[in-house]
Amino acid sequence: MDTHPPLSTGPTAPIALFDSGVGGLSVLRHVRQRLPRERLLYVADTAYMPYGEKSTALIRARVLWLAQRLLAMEAKLLVLACNTATAAAVRELREALPTLPVVGMEPGLKPAIDVSRSRRVGIIATEGTLRSEKFRLLLARYGAGAEVLTRACPGLVEQVEQGALSDGASEVLLRRYLAPLQQAGVDTLVLGCTHYPFLIPLIRRIVGEEMAVIDTGEAVARQVQSQLQQHGIASLAEGVGALRFYTTADPEPQQALFRRLWGEPLTLERLPP
């Protein structure tokens, strides 16, 4: 990968977020709410979605390739809005681009343990996240003194990518994955994939209102704000910053889903080569 610094790291340059698909839109919403003046780019690597079942080597290659494209678009900060991509490649990305601020994702285990009354915490995530060294280290750091139960959830990302947020198939999958956690007395559930916040209404239907549900999107937005201030690159512009959406696949089949999940009109573009 070309490791030259970005073309522009000034306040007017955009922040870039990327994920394997639409899941990172849940993070983008938090960033937009906290930092409305910032120009934002969002990229869905739909051509290689989902990441959860891909090899670590392939995910790293995709992350570095996307970072190179976004540097060419003058991104001043990168957000890996994907737990699987962060677990597989954030260290390598920071090594390749040491002068560029990079913010990643990780399951919110610490805040979950802090709010859990029973000290029994459940984490649902992709297979890629749960098998990663980064996740093992997270458990070692924060998991002592609590019972942490994990469930890989194959198929859930694909359901969200199809817009099936409340249909019968999604409910069947979620009930299958959540049942062992409920039976074990878990009182706090960590969403370890950025696609899963779009399923919160369905999750609530299954687990009720008593169980705490932890989504780390807001924490990531705070970290982005902190990095902008630390590096002196926060936007000083008046008004709302521009927002652009890209995909590595054909945009047309995804337009309706992007608009539905984002909740506003938008134009989805093909990522420039």
- List, for residues 213-250, the tens digit of each pLDDT value: 999 999 999 999 999 999 999 999 899 999 999 999 99
Torsion of CA 27, 120, 142, 103, to 10 degrees: 0
Q: Note the pTM of the prediction, 2 decimals.
A: 0.92
| pLDDT, tens digit, 9 for 90 and up, residues 132-169 | 999 999 999 999 889 999 999 999 999 999 999 998 99
Report yes or no: 246 and 41 within 8 Å, Cβ to Cβ. yes
- Mean pLDDT for the chain? 94
User: Does the annotation count 153 as an active-site position?
Assistant: no
Scan for tokens 């399923």, then name that residue: 199
Q: Are 130 and 150 in contact (CB under 8 A)?
A: yes
For a pLDDT cut of 70, what percent of the chain falls above it?
Answer: 97
Give residue-wise pLDDT tens across range 49-95.
999 889 999 999 999 999 999 999 999 999 999 999 999 999 999 99
Q: Residues 124, 193, 212, 261: which is the catalytic one?
A: 193
Domains annotated for the chain, with CATH where assigned, are 15-105+218-270 (3.40.50.1860), 109-215 (3.40.50.1860)
- 106-128 confidence digits (pLDDT tens): 999 999 999 999 999 999 999 99
Distance, CA of 103 to CA of 227 (rounded, Å): 8
Whether the predicted pLDDT of 39 surpasses 60: yes
Q: Is the pLDDT of residue 1 over 70?
A: no
SS3 content of the chain, % helix, strand, coil (to 5): 45, 15, 40
What backbone torsions phi and psi does residue 41 show, to the nearest 5 degrees?
-115, 135
pLDDT over 80 (residue 5): no
> Is residue 268's pLDDT more than 50?
yes
Q: Which letter does DSSP use for residue 155 in this model?
A: T
One of 82, 103, 130, 207 is an active-site residue; which one? 82
Pair type for strands 212-214 and 188-191: parallel
